[in-house]
Structure formats: C-alpha cells, structure tokens
Structure 1
Amino acid sequence: MDRYAVFGNPIGQSKSPFIHTQFAEQCQQQLSYEAILAPVDAFADSWQTFVAQGGCGANVTAPFKQQAYQLADSVSERAKLAGAVNTFYFDESGKLHGDNTDGIGLVNDLQRLGINLNACRILLLGAGGASRGVVGPLLDAGVSQVVLANRTPEKAHSIAASFDSRVLACGFAQIPHQPYPLVINATSSGLSHQRPDIAGEHLQHTELAYDMSYAAQPTAFMSWSKQQGAKQQVDGLGMLVAQAAEAFYIWRGKKPDIAPVLTRLKQQLAI
C-alpha cells in the first residue's frame, strides 16, 4: 500500500490524516497516511527514514517548509515564489520535487465561496510565510491589487519585491483608504485570540473577511470584522481542505470533492 505522511513539530493537532483518509475513500484509492513528529533539528533524517520505509510522498507543515524547500531536487514556480515547500513527490526517475499548494488552496476555497477574484482588490494582513505563499496564486487568479500590510512594513516590502506593481506593501497605519471587497488575515494574531491592529474603516465595503486560521468558534478577527460591517466572515478550514486536495491530486491524479470532507471536519470541531 502506498504510504504518505505529514511532517511537523508539533503535529498532534494535524487534521491531514483525517482529510486524506476521507479523500482516499472518496476516490477509491488504496493508501495510508500518518502524522510524523520530526525533531526540530532532524527533519531531513526523518524524511529519509520515511522514504527508506517506503514513503511515496508527504505534506510538510511548520516549522519545516523552508527546510523542505532546500531538500527538494527541484521545486515548482509557486514554491519558488513562496520560498517554501508543503508537498513532496517523486517523479518517474526518482527525483524529489517540492510544491506549495497553500496559495491554490486559498484561491479554490475563495472561488468555492463565490468570490470573483478577477479584477478584485485585496487587503492581505501579515507578512509571514502564510502571506508569501498565497500572493502569487492570487495574482494568477486575476486579482488587480494586493495591499500587503504588516505591523513591521519592512517584512511586507521584502515579499512585495518578488512581485510586480500590483503588490503594494505598507504598515498597518499606512493602509490606503479605498474599498477592499476581500480582506484576508494571514497574521498569527489568532493564536493568542487577538486581531491585527488595523482601523475598522478598512472593512466598511468588505464582502468577505477571511481568516486563514480556524477554530470551533469564530476567531477574534471574524467577530471584529462582523462588527465593522463585513458582510461575510469565514475561517481557513476550507483552505486547509482545498490545499490538501491539491496535494492529493499531485500524488494520485484525482481531484477529490472537498465539500463533504469540510462538512465532517466542521462537525468534529463542534464536538
């Protein structure tokens, strides 16, 4: 049986084994998928052990995405733009390829939600790895402008330098005053039940406030966005499932339907 896994540290909270098991059943694929806790200083060794034991491919989560990028024999264009790899697979010659499905996962989830990204202006909050991985796919989807705002503007400018003039970098206090139909929170503020420190006026014309993090209850950003007048608030659970579906397609050549898996995940979180 083909063997897959997700590597991370910590990893006990990962939903990936459940998601990929559901995908395999749905697509009638025979495979196993497990979560592997790799030592912080020995990711490469853990990966090589997994391969030696028959591993066919893997997902990679924090804090190993940059190490995975260095480990791959070649990487996709979207992985290059992200500077990180979250999906490993082998080609027919046995070479290890790295890809990044985070951005296309976000795009697919936004489209599932009915958002028309063509000519859309987006306010993207945060300049960490989460933002770096999604800017390119958003632009490829037809977005007209990404205003990338971060508490420290220098980090935002560092990411913007990899793209064209459609990406504008600034600090939270310098966000241009214009309508943003879509506002995406890619900061880590949700981990401490906080929200990005931006003015509420930026959400006055927002159709969708999207938080990349997720929890059983609405995140602090979602609750605050609703108070500021955003018409719809959604967490990142759909992005999680959609990026996994892209990885599954890379490995197995079949595109699973994320809707039933997303429904089951939401039911799990509500317990």
Structure 2
Amino acid sequence: MKKIALFGNPVYHSKSPIINKIFSNNTNIIYSYTKVNIPKKNFFTVSKNFFYSGGYGANITLPFKKKALHLCDLLTKRAILSKSVNVITRFKNKYLLGDNTDGIGFINDLKRLFCCYTKKKILIIGAGGAARGIIPQLLLYHNKITITNRTIEKAKNISKEFKNLGKIKYIKDINLCKKKFDIIINATSCSINNKIPKLSDNIINSKTFCYDMMYSKNKTSFLKWCSKKSMNIYDGLGMLVSQAAYSFFLWHNKMPSIDLSIKILKKCI
C-alpha cells in the first residue's frame, strides 16, 4: 500500500484526508493518507525520514511550499515557474519529483464557477506559497496582477520574480489604490484565525469576483467582508479538491471526478 502524507503547520483544519478517502472510494485505489503537523524548524528532517522509511508521496501546505523545492531531485515545469511545490511523488522508485498543482487547480475551479479569468485586473493579497502557485497560471491568460502583502518587501520580491511572465506589480498600501479590481484573491491564511487583511472597501464593487483560497463550512471572515459589496464570493474548497485531484493523478495515473468529489465533500463537512 502506498504511504502518502500531508505536511504543514497547522494541518488540524485540513480536509485533505477526507478528500483522498473520497478519491479512493471512487476509483477503487487503496492507499494510506495521513496529515503530519511539522514544527517549522523540522521540515527537512521529518519529510526526509518519511521518504527514507518508504513514503511514496506527499502534499505540501503552508508554510513549507517553497522549502519543498529543495527536498526534490526533479521538478516539473509548473514547480519551476511557481518556485514552490505542493505535491511530491517517487519517480522511477529512485527520485523525488516535485510538482505544483495549485495553479491548474485554481483555474479549474474558476472554470467551474463560470468566472472569466482572461485579461482581467486581479488583486492578490498575500505573497507566500499560495500566491506563488497561482500567479504563473494567471499571467498565462494575460491578466494584470497587483500584489500586496503585510510585509511589503515580500510583495516586491515576488513581483520581480514573475515579471518576465507577464504584467505584475506590487502596491505598498492597497488602501490608497483608487481603481477597482475584477477579481480579488485572498492568498493569506488570515481566515484560519478568523481575521481579515487590512483593506478598504473602495477596491471592490458589486461585480467583483471575490475568492478566498481558504475554506470553511460557513463564510470565511474575508468573504464576510467582501459580501458587504459583492455577491460573487467563493471559498477555496473547489480549488482544494481540484489541486488534490491532480496530485492524485501524479501518484496513481488516474484522474478522479472533481465535480462528484466536491458534492460528496460538501455533504461530509
């Protein structure tokens, strides 16, 4: 039986084990999937021990997606472009192959939600691994991205890293921005702690598509804030299932039904 794990900190809230159980039931592929909360200083030690002891694959979540690059022997083009890894698998039973399915999972969810994602003005809040995973895909569709972050130096650095892929800039104080955006994406973990980024509602209107990469049974704190001005609010549950499905394909060479899995997951939580 293949041993697969989720590495992150925190992981207590993660629905990944439930999603993978749904995938297993729907495809008749049996494997073990556990979540491992790793102390932030011990990522390499714990993850290496997992693979040395027979682990076959892993999902990587906050805050280790960038560190996971250096754990891998080989990287896919998506991982190289995003400079982060959210899934690892054994390749030829010898190497660790790192991929990033966040971007393709995100675009797949926008399609599911009938969101037009080409040539749009997009604001991304947050400059960590979650943002890195989706930026290359969004730039591929000729969008204009503005990125902001609590630590502005991170937003500045990430805009420099990806400027060769398309139009991306950072803004020091989003509250001074006078233009409104077509799409606003929360790529921070604020919603886990029931907080919201410090934002002014002058950047949002009734047509703005608001997306929180976090998810919750009820509206996240970010989406509650967005709902004051827009009805187009969505959490990251669909993206979570989509990126997990592409991870599953990497491990087992079979694609589970994303739409069916989302329906089942909503009933479970």
Same fold (TM over 0.5): yes
Q: CA deviation at 1:179?
A: 4.0
Amino acid at match of 1:260: L
Change (3 A) 1:212 1:69: same
3-state SS, counterpart of residue 6 of structure 2? strand
3-state SS, counterpart of residue 245 of structure 1? helix
- 2:175, 2:200 within 8 Å by CA — same for their partners in 1? no
Alignment of 1:49-198 (within 5 A): 49-92=49-92, 94-140=94-140, 142-164=141-163, 165-173=166-174, 176-198=177-199
* CA distance, structure 2, for counterparts of residue 29 and residue 44 of structure 1: 29
Q: Which runs of 5+ in 1 are unaligned?
A: none
Q: CA deviation at 1:207?
A: 3.7
Instruction: Name the Cα RMSD after superposition.
Output: 2.2
Change (3 A) 1:176 1:87: same
TM-score, normalisation: structure 1: 0.88
* CA distance, structure 2, for counterparts of residue 149 and residue 40 of structure 1: 24
Change (3 A) 1:151 1:32: closer
* CA distance, structure 1, for counterparts of residue 128 and residue 52 of structure 2: 33
Change (3 A) 1:49 1:156: closer
* CA distance, structure 2, for counterparts of residue 251 and residue 257 of structure 1: 15
Count of residue pairs the alignment pairs up: 267
3-state SS, counterpart of residue 55 of structure 1? coil
- 2:175, 2:199 within 8 Å by CA — same for their partners in 1? no
Calculate percent identity across the aligned residue pairs. Answer: 36
- 1:148, 1:169 within 8 Å by CA — same for their partners in 2? yes
Amino acid at match of 1:171: K
3-state SS, counterpart of residue 42 of structure 1? helix
Moved more, 233-242 or 38-47: 38-47
* CA distance, structure 1, for counterparts of residue 37 and residue 200 of structure 2: 40
Amino acid at match of 1:268: C
TM-score, normalisation: structure 2: 0.89
3-state SS, counterpart of residue 195 of structure 2? coil
Q: CA deviation at 1:109?
A: 1.0
Q: CA deviation at 1:223?
A: 1.6
3-state SS, counterpart of residue 57 of structure 2? strand
Q: CA deviation at 1:8?
A: 2.6
3-state SS, counterpart of residue 163 of structure 1? helix
Change (3 A) 1:9 1:155: closer
Residue equivalent to 2:262 = 262
- 1:248, 1:255 within 8 Å by CA — same for their partners in 2? yes
Residue equivalent to 2:253 = 253
